[in-house]
């Protein structure tokens, strides 16, 4: 389709009539006021040479800027600085939670007497000091990292302010182009109506057709601009929400740095003092208990030694029981010896008798043998 020449374009309405039409638009809906009329007239000049190309390019620069702002906003939303800062704050909490005064100062149990008690508290204090210093260094390091992140967040708040102002201006400019497009669309519809009322020939019919086609394209372009304007309007509260989140996080960090962390250090110092005080009381009680036990053991030992000494002093050199035992043993020994001797005598007597009997038997046998030898056999 060929573009229209200037002579084929709708007749421009007078400024007064155009302004009247402008005021009849729903200006509040598109974010405009009556004082924006001159800007609308300037924007409408982009459609002075009405063609398909001019309609397609209408408001393109505004749309490009809106898309750029949207991309920047998405980058901010997806940016990991907020997550990184939150993680660092959690690390501060975790490091502080590792500092447990009870587990450090009560870590070793009493072994031995006074030396063990004193070394226990001295060692525990040194261990706690080392652990506390290490924890403090970790917290200070994390705080410096968070401060860097917070400075970036504060700088980004200023960037968001500029973006907000730019989107606001973008929103208004889109409204200007929408209003100018609607006024131009009304002019085209008036021209179509005027041509339709004329006697129709091929040229007139073709012109009406072309104007209708342009009017449809312009209406579609205006609708696109309205969608972009709605998107811009939605972008504004998103920017404020991100700003608010950044500022709340910055404020929260300031509170942690200037209130929470000093309070931690104060409470840790108090905890150390109270724990040392408790351990000192325990040490004093342990010493008192050990002293009382020592006195009791010495008193018991003194009593036992005194009783044993008195008993030993009152004891005879030789107990009567021992003498009785010796006496009874001697008597028994003598009696046993006499009995054994008697039994020996008796056994010897019996042996003598038996020996004599054996001799007699032997002598008798010899005699008989001799007698038999002296008598020859007959």
CB 225 within 8 A of CB 30: no
User: If we measure between CA atoms, which residue out of 104, 228, 243 comes closest to residue 164?
Assistant: 243
C-alpha dist (Å) from residue 86 to 83, 150, 155, 378: 5, 11, 18, 156
- 25 closest CA partner among 182, 134, 219, 166: 182
pLDDT of residue 336: 92
Closest to 73 in 3D by CA, of 248, 250, 243: 243
pLDDT at position 299 is 92
Question: Residue ranges of the domains in the chain?
Answer: 6-295, 321-366
**Residues 254-292: tens digit of each pLDDT:** 887 788 777 877 877 787 788 778 878 888 888 888 889
pLDDT exceeds 70 at position 246:
yes
Q: Report the C-alpha gap between 19 and 285 in whole angstroms.
A: 98
Q: How confident is the model at residue 124 (pLDDT cuts 50, 70, 90)?
A: low
């Amino acid at each position: 389709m060929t573009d229209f020449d200037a002579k084929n374009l709708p007749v421009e309405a007078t400024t007064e009539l155009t302004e009247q039409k402008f005021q009849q638009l729903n200006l509040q809906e598109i974010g405009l006021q009556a004082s924006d009329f001159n800007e609308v007239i300037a924007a409408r000049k982009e459609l002075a040479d009405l063609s398909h190309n001019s309609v397609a390019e209408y408001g393109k620069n505004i749309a490009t800027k809106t898309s750029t702002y949207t991309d920047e906003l998405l980058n901010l939303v997806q940016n990991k600085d907020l997550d990184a800062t939150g993680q660092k704050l959690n690390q501060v909490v975790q490091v502080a939670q590792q500092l447990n005064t009870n587990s450090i100062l009560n870590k070793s149990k009493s072994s031995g007497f006074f030396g063990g008690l004193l070394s226990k508290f001295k060692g525990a204090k040194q261990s706690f000091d080392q652990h506390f210093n290490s924890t403090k260094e970790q917290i200070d390091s994390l705080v410096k990292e968070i401060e860097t992140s917070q400075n970036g967040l504060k700088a980004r708040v200023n960037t968001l302010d500029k973006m907000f102002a730019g989107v606001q201006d973008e929103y208004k400019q889109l409204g200007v182009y929408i209003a100018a497009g609607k006024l131009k669309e009304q002019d085209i519809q008036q021209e179509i109506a005027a041509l339709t009322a004329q006697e129709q020939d091929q040229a007139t019919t073709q012109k009406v057709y072309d104007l209708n086609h342009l009017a449809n394209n312009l209406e579609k372009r205006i609708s696109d601009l309205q969608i972009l304007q709605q998107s811009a309007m939605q972008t504004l509260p998103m920017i404020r929400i991100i700003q608010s989140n950044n500022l709340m996080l910055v404020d929260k960090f300031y509170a942690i740095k200037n209130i929470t962390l000093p309070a931690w250090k104060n409470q840790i110092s108090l905890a150390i003092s109270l724990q040392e005080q408790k351990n000192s009381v325990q040490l004093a009680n342990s010493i008192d208990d050990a002293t009382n036990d020592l006195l009791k053991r010495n008193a018991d030992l003194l009593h036992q030694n005194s009783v044993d000494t008195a008993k030993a002093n009152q004891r005879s050199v030789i107990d009567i029981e021992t003498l009785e035992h010796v006496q009874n043993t001697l008597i028994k020994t003598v009696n046993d010896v006499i009995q054994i001797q008697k039994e020996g005598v008796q056994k010897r007597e019996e042996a003598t008798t038996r020996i004599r009997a054996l001799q007699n038997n032997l002598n008798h046998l010899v005699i008989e043998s001799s007698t038999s030898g002296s008598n020859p056999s007959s």
